[in-house]
Structure 1
Amino acid sequence: DINAITQPNVAEIEVYGSLHAERGTFTSAPLDLGAPDVVKNVGRVRWQATVPAGTELTVQFRSADQAAALADSAGGWSTPLTTGDIWFPAEEPRAFLQYRVNMATHSPEKTPVFEHLEIDFDLDQVPVSKAWGRIAPNRVPMGRDTSFTYTLDVEFADADAGLAQIRIDVPAPAILEEIIGLEDSALEAWDSTRDQLTITLAEPLRQDAQLQIRFRTRTLAAIHAFRARLFAPNSDNPLNAAENAAIDPQSNAPYSWVLSAATSEERALSQVRVLPPVFTPNADGINDFATIEFALSKVEAPRQVEWTLGARS
């Protein structure tokens, strides 16, 4: 028998406990790297972390000339990065930098661990004190050779080492046409790969200038950012130019280094060609195979199409 007073019947038990946090963020204090009054050309940043399956860890960076400018925790951060050993992704040169570690886990038994961070930097290999870049035009037909003007504004301090080389991210191999504004310097050499235009000056530039770098290239991507990296003499540590976002007095819109590409004549398929142009599949070892090249620039939904040699679909 159950006595309702001394032997109550337990119908339900509620147990409370603390849950694990699925997400967490660590934000460092502003770092002056031992020289609070000196701007730095930050080089590569490396970190080591343990990230078990089912967890995530990313790192972000930002920079400023004053520690107080980093008091707002929300603005100025770089894109979240998952892999270390990269060039510093924030604006340079700056006196202070800051990093933020974002961690997440989907299991209470696992957690990512951020172990250590390494930062390379130069105090005496700063090419310029300020640099801003912008591209024009900002909107072009996709896949068409176009002449661009990259405007690079640079300002120097007395202690700056000078600007010896410029590297601009390009969407395809580029052809340099001319550079206006070199003043006492001159072009020594230029070279372009499929993703970078490199310009080497005969003498380092050491006075304030506005360089207009004109080149031809094309893009098959919808969006491309023409970022520029600047090098001091005998240095392999690039300094990131900032994006010029001032207002264009002619268009009343902000400048930008971002290019948007539009489909040419609303065609999805362009630049179609067959290599070799003569196709004779008769097993004689000559022109038995052909490659069809094309640029596909506008797709609403994928659709499989099969063609016969009689050009019937």
Structure 2
Amino acid sequence: MARNRESLDVVVDLRFPTRDLKWIAIRPLDPERDWEIAELEVYGEGFVTRTTYRTPIMDFGREVAWSKIRWQGEVPEGTQLLLRTRTGNTPQPNIYRVIGPTGTLEVSTLDDYLTQLGRRRWNDVELGYDLENWSPWSAPYEFVAGLRQVESPADLWQDGTPVLSPSPARYFQLEAILFASGPAAPRIDNMSLLFSEDPVAQEVIGEIWPIATQSFAAETFTYVVRPVLRASDLGFDRLEIFTQISVERVHSVLIDGEEISDRFPPEIQDDRLIVSFDRLVGPRDNEKRIEVVFDAKVLRFGADFRSWVYDSAEPELKQQVAPGNATFRFSGDVVSVRTPMGGGLISSVQATPATFTPNGDGVNDHVAIAYELRDLESLRQIRLRIYDLSGRLVRQIATSTGSGSFAQTWNGRDEEGALVPPGMYLYQLDWDTDKGREVANGAVGVAY
């Protein structure tokens, strides 16, 4: 950044354009000459590029069922904030091993581990992770989904997002990774947790089959849930399966082999499927399997079909279903599905209707440009641009979204809000990927 071979100044003040730095080194150009630095001060601007904060491990005194998490904060444009959680049933997620009297590594305490490190006996210690009692870090939470909605009463918990880490569990920890950009940085002001001290079940295990698809067309899946119920558990009468996009068809819902969909029609929502049934509670319903067969598309590799069970009287208190061996019929023991790799991120682009009439009569006043996005693990900005046949930009609409089925609408008006003349118009969907910019084009007609 700077070089000076003949400096006779007592105080040297160097300034240079702002940039991201991790290390600053000062070295002599002529090591044979005597030189001395009394003080060195370095001043920066903006924020640290990356910062990691972990809460202390929170002890709730007993196993509880985690339901929802929410926060307040801000993520300015150009910055990023990753939030993830883990849960466990021992005070520490780490396993400390030191060389014992037999000359082999034995489980020990943190104090013994640190003592050996202090003696620089690196080969006499080993640090491991306790996967038997602690979950791995969860997938990152979607920041917007967990934002506190200040207009709704806090105690009703109409906001927040489901906790991704398994429960019941006694210990909880949150990690925030903040990525700043120049003068802007994300922040998180506070965090709240919703949990129940009385789980609906001791354990709920689920799995899906098949665990791989050969195309992005709709596939028939079987989802099996096996609850472990004790006399003290509250029980539940709802199963909610997160499908990411709308389920196309439900073939059957079985409880312990009995079809119940005629008495309890399943509820298909935009991104999930909710199944109702008679309340399962106590030892009499222990291990009664819930089996749901449905058709759905999978648009992201390794998509998780997470699910929760809950009591319809307290729908805000949901207990997550843990992946595992829910039935011996299938060998997957997971709730994630693999899809083909490669290809474009967008498909099934279609404008409906092909010609619309924005004359305010309530019939065909808008055109919906529908599309499917796949293999997106984070939000991406999708831009819809409308051009006339001369190539002039008429309207631009942008939205941020992840994998799934979506539609953007155009009301036949330009950027100033005026109705466009009748005729053919070109639309363009574009988005940025890790490999560059991708584009999808089409045409739509405007008539009066």
- Normalising by structure 2, we get a TM-score of 0.51
Could you say which residue in structure 2 is the equivalent of 1:173?
A: 247
Aligned with 2:323 (options 240, 243, 260):
243
- Which residue in 1 is equivalent to 2:169? 94
- Is the counterpart of residue 16 in structure 1 residue 76 in structure 2? no
Among 69, 81, 106, the residue aligned to 2:93: 69
- Contact 2:254/2:291 (8 A) holds in 1: yes
1:25 equivalenced with 2:52 (yes/no): yes
Check 1:47–1:19 CA distance in 2 against 1; reply closer, same or farther (3 A cut): farther
Query: Does the C-alpha gap of structure 1 residues 248 and 260 become closer, same or farther in structure 2, counting only changes over 3 Å?
Result: farther
The answer on whether the counterparts of 1:91 and 1:240 sit within 8 Å (CA) in structure 2 is yes
The CA deviation at 1:42 is 2.1
RMSD: 4.8
Distance 1:164 1:211 in 2: 11
Give the whole-Å Cα distance in 2 for the aligned partners of 1:224 and 1:114: 28
Which of residues 283, 289, 306 is equivalent to 1:227? 306
Distance 2:52 2:77 in 1: 19
Closer/same/farther in 2, CA of residues 185 and 234 from structure 1, 3 Å limit: farther
Written as runs of structure 1 = structure 2, the 5 A alignment for 1:45-194 is 45-49=69-73, 56-69=80-93, 72=129, 76-81=136-141, 82-83=143-144, 84=146, 85-107=160-182, 113-124=187-198, 126-170=199-243, 171-182=245-256, 188-194=264-270
The count of residues paired between Structure 1 and Structure 2 equals 288
Given candidates 194, 215, 218, the residue that maps to 2:297 is 218
User: Would the aligned equivalents of 1:165 and 1:230 in 2 still touch at CA under 8 Å?
Assistant: yes
The answer to whether the 8 A contact 1:178-1:215 is kept is yes
Identity %: 16
How far apart, in 2, do the equivalents of 1:199 and 1:44 lie? 20
The answer for the alignment partner of 1:260 in structure 2 is 338
Once residues 333 and 438 of structure 2 are traced to their aligned partners in structure 1, the CA distance between those partners, rounded to angstroms, is 35
| Runs of 4+ deviating beyond 6 Å | 245-251, 266-277, 289-298, 303-307
Q: Give the Cα–Cα distance (whole angstroms) in 2 for the partners of residues 296 and 121 of structure 1.
A: 33
Aligned equivalents of 1:196, 1:228: Cα separation in 2: 9
- In structure 2, the CA distance between the partners of 1:100 and 1:273, relative to structure 1 (3 Å rule), is closer
Report the Cα distance in structure 2 between the residues aligned to 1:88 and 1:268, rounded to whole angstroms.
Answer: 28
Q: Distance in 2 between matches of 1:57 and 1:276?
A: 39
Q: Quick check: 73-82 or 114-123, which moved more?
A: 73-82
Matches within 5 A, 1:200-215: 200-206=276-282, 207-215=286-294
After TM superposition, give the deviation of residue 51 of structure 1 in Å: 5.5
CA shift, 1:239, in A, is: 1.2
Task: Using the TM superposition, give the Cα deviation of residue 131 of structure 1 relative to its aligned residue in structure 2, in angstroms.
Answer: 1.7
8 Å CA contact 1:140–1:261 kept in 2: the answer is yes
Structure-2 change in CA distance of 1:292 and 1:194 (3 Å): closer
| TM-score of the superposed pair, with normalisation by structure 1 | 0.69
- Does the aligned pair in 1 maintain the 2:234–2:281 contact within 8 Å? no
Say which SS state the counterpart of residue 63 (structure 2) adopts: coil
Amino acid at match of 2:87: S
Rounded to whole Å, the distance in 1 between the matches of 2:77 and 2:347 is 43
Q: Identify the residue that residue 311 of structure 1 maps to in structure 2.
A: none
Structure 1 unpaired stretches of 5+ = 1-7, 280-286, 308-313
Residue 273 of structure 2: which of 187, 194, 197 is its match?
197
Distance 1:106 1:273 in 2: 37
**Structure 2 residues not aligned, in runs of 5+:** 1-6, 11-34, 96-128, 147-159, 356-363, 376-434, 444-448
Determine which structure has greater relative contact order: mean sequence separation of CA pairs < 8 Å that are 6+ residues apart, divided by chain length.
1
Q: 1:231 to 1:13 in 2, by over 3 A?
A: same
Call closer, same or farther: CA 1:41–1:174 in 2, change over 3 Å: farther
